[in-house]
Amino acid sequence: MAKTHQRVGHLYVISGPSGAGKGTVCKELLRTHDVHLSTSMTTRNPRPGEVDGIEYFFVSHEEFEEHIANGDMLEYAKVFDNYYGTPKDAVLRHLKRGRDVILEIDVQGGLQIKKKMPEEAILIFLLPPDLDTLYDRIVGRGTESKADIDRRFNEARNEIKLIGEYDYYVVNGVVADAANDIASIMNAESHRVPERVSELIKLYDE
């Protein structure tokens, strides 16, 4: 087959409001495609069944703040009393090896990544099919009070207004379709003519 020019991986941010289905779609994408999903770090307690290093890296407040101070985090946020964030090291290591990396993070986190890595990051906004479905999905978790549900729903609607900052949007009606659309985007981006086109031309210049 063809020689190919050396490539670094792409960094994909998949975000969207709660109820868009980020978690489900990313799980499906991992099942069907060879990508690396970054594991986030948090100070919240593990829920029953959650394993350190799988769902999250679970650390203490002190550790997290040390990572922030050391510049180890690509992005982070404090939600109520807990920190959530993306450790930089593993992400950069996979990218250097030419592997695509996915960050499944909230909209604010996505915008932090865009600011920090405008060249590398490709931002995908996951949308629910419509507002009724969004509401049903938030209710469907069944763990929250009416007030919490309404707060989440309003937050979601406000977050959707930030979609103009994103590169692509995918509507998550059917999970497998949404995962395929994201895979298409990743495949297309890997076929973009690179900035440094000379390496590509050299392959056809004896």
Shortest reach from residue 123's CB to its own copies, in Å: 9
CA 79 to chain centre: 17
Q: How far apart, in whole angstroms, are the C-alpha atoms of residue 100 and residue 91?
A: 9
Angle of the 146-160 helix axis to the 131-140 helix axis, nearest 10: 140
Judged by beta carbon, residue 4 or residue 70, the one nearer its own copies is 4
**CB nearer to its own copies: pick between 80 and 204:** 204
Nearer to its own copies, 61 or 115 (CB): 115
CA angle 107, 82, 25 (to 5 degrees): 40
CA distance 158 to 198: 44
Between 33 and 44, CB nearer to its own copies: 33
Minimum gap (Å) between residue 126 Cβ and its own copies:
11
| Rounded-to-integer distance, Cα 124 and Cα 15, Å | 6
**Residue 197 Cβ, how far from its own copies at the closest point, in Å?**
4
Interface residues with its own copies (CB under 8 A) are 1-4, 125, 127-131, 134, 157, 160-161, 163-164, 166-171, 173, 181, 183-185, 187-189, 191-193, 197, 200-201, 203-206
- What is the maximum alpha-carbon separation in the chain? 69
CB of 193 to its own copies, least distance (A): 5
